[in-house]
Amino acid sequence: MRTTAGTLYWDSDGNAANGQTDGSGTWTGGTNWLSGANDVAWVSGNPIVFGVAGAVVGNSYTVTNTGTAYSAVQPASITFQGGSSYTLTGNSFNIQGNLIVAADVTSAQTISAAISFGTTGNTTATLSNNAVSSAGTINMTGSKMLPNSSASGGTLILTGTGTGTNLISAAVTQSGTGAVAVNVTGSRWNFTGANSYSGGTVVSGGTLNMGSATTMKLAAGALTIAGGTLSSSVATTTVGGNVVLSAGHLSLNDAAAGTLTLAVNQNFTMSGGEWDISLGTTYDSITGSGTGIFSITGGLLMLDVTGAGFSYTNTYDILNGFSNGSLTGLTIDGYDQENYLATLSDTGVLSFTAIPEANTWSLLMMGVGLFCVVRLFKDGRAKGLTEVLD
């Protein structure tokens, strides 16, 4: 319960007369929080702020939670601001609301403690990075992130306007029967932890990058790209549910070859959006298994044919291992369309057919025309001979 009015500002020197100051210290020890004109001891339930607004150059500081795990430290929200870099460590704690990186942040902020988010009545948490500087990021490196109320599940929203890449190596997980969902609506987020939530993932803005081979392997529920970008930065990564591309971009392992492997019996569906595909000796692909199928009813395959070993005479098995496939309304671009025609079969094989050159067509038509003239000439002679005999 909140017992101190308003926002608490981290004030490491415990001296309100000096104003708010950056620095290291113990979260739950001493009077290290500035409230109004006074320094106070830690009180849960208030919004809290780390960093001095507008500070351009800062140092790195550590704030350690020595209180009882989860229950002793429960801020209503956390905001990082200014130029200093903070690491929040020690025992686990609960963020009841949002975690915000302000526009003036110019360095990485880190939470290395395990956290839960939300409350029994509010299990939605928002991580928002709005830093103008690409160096302003939030890194969640603790052992896990989970909802406070396992019975009702929760939603983790990753958003913001920041252009830096935020690291989430903490495993987004759940316990009990409540499903946790992840929605990405802005900024750039790199998942590397062993996530195990079951409420599905929706990317509708920003970028979600799969930074390890197994980060989404145990995450059940559909992985839906409805805008923004789903990317990977490893050669192979596995997802636990269906993959749905309706808008936005799917990009595997940047310019190198990348494989997206679906769990057994899972499906790939594409009705819009763009799948960026690198082709070469190795190439991008999606692999299914069991009874899994692929269905394409629209969208764009944007090819990169600059890879080493690419040849228009080769075929590329970009959708493989599925029990069945169907496609219609697909557009393919990014290759030499003057000389080749690209097609994708219902078995998932991409191939190219050479288009005859204009001169070849001209010679062919001339040959056809000459044949017709000779034929007419012969027919005419035969007719004349018949008349003479008659």
pLDDT in tens, 39-63: 999 989 999 999 999 887 779 999 9
Give, as one character, the DSSP assignment of residue 289.
Answer: -
H/E stretch holding 360: helix 358-389
Count up the domains in the chain and report the number.
3
Instruction: Assess whether 176 and 208 both reside in one domain.
Output: no
Instruction: Assess whether 336 and 373 both reside in one domain.
Output: no
* Interacting residues of 136 by C-beta distance below 8 A, sequence separation 6+: 101, 105, 106, 107, 108, 109, 129, 162, 164
Whole-structure pTM value: 0.89
Instruction: Assess whether 145 and 18 both reside in one domain.
Output: yes
Q: Could you tell me how far CA 190 lies from the centroid of its own chain?
A: 7
Instruction: Assess whether 37 and 140 both reside in one domain.
Output: yes
Percentage of the residues of the chain whose pLDDT score is greater than 70: 87
Q: With cut-offs at 50, 70 and 90, classify the pLDDT of residue 390.
A: very low
Q: Could you tell me how far CA 45 lies from the centroid of its own chain?
A: 32
Asked if residue 128 belongs to a domain, the reply is yes
Asked if residue 7 belongs to a domain, the reply is yes
Q: State which residues form the domain around 222.
A: 200-355
Q: Could you say which of 181, 215, 247 is where a domain stops?
A: 181
Give, as one character, the DSSP assignment of residue 217.
Answer: T
pLDDT of 359: 57
- Whether the pLDDT of residue 384 is over 50: the answer is no
Instruction: Assess whether 49 and 74 both reside in one domain.
Output: yes
Asked if residue 190 belongs to a domain, the reply is no
pLDDT in tens, 238-265: 999 999 999 999 999 987 999 999 999 9
Instruction: Assess whether 245 and 222 both reside in one domain.
Output: yes
Instruction: Assess whether 75 and 146 both reside in one domain.
Output: yes
Instruction: Assess whether 73 and 219 both reside in one domain.
Output: no
pLDDT of 367: 54
Instruction: Assess whether 369 and 344 both reside in one domain.
Output: no
pLDDT in tens, 160-199: 999 999 999 999 988 766 788 999 999 999 999 999 999 9
Task: Give 61 or 155, the one with higher predicted confidence.
Answer: 61
DSSP β-ladder status, 331-333 and 324-327: unpaired
Which pair of tokens denotes residue 25? 């210290």
Asked if residue 193 belongs to a domain, the reply is no
Asked if residue 73 belongs to a domain, the reply is yes
Q: With cut-offs at 50, 70 and 90, classify the pLDDT of residue 149.
A: low
Instruction: Assess whether 321 and 226 both reside in one domain.
Output: yes
* Rounded CA separation 250/188 (Å): 14
Question: Do residues 201 and 248 touch, judged by C-beta distance below 8 A?
Answer: no
Asked if residue 165 belongs to a domain, the reply is yes
- How large is the C-alpha radius of gyration of the chain? 30
**Beta-bridge partner residues of 352:** 342
pLDDT of 388: 35
pLDDT in tens, 316-368: 999 999 999 999 999 999 999 999 999 999 999 999 999 998 655 455 455 54
Instruction: Assess whether 295 and 390 both reside in one domain.
Output: no
Q: With cut-offs at 50, 70 and 90, classify the pLDDT of residue 22.
A: very high
pLDDT of 345: 98
Asked if residue 186 belongs to a domain, the reply is no
Instruction: Assess whether 29 and 168 both reside in one domain.
Output: yes
- Whether the pLDDT of residue 380 is over 80: the answer is no
* Rounded CA separation 125/122 (Å): 8
pLDDT of 229: 98
- Whether the pLDDT of residue 120 is over 70: the answer is no
Asked if residue 189 belongs to a domain, the reply is no
* Rounded CA separation 144/112 (Å): 10
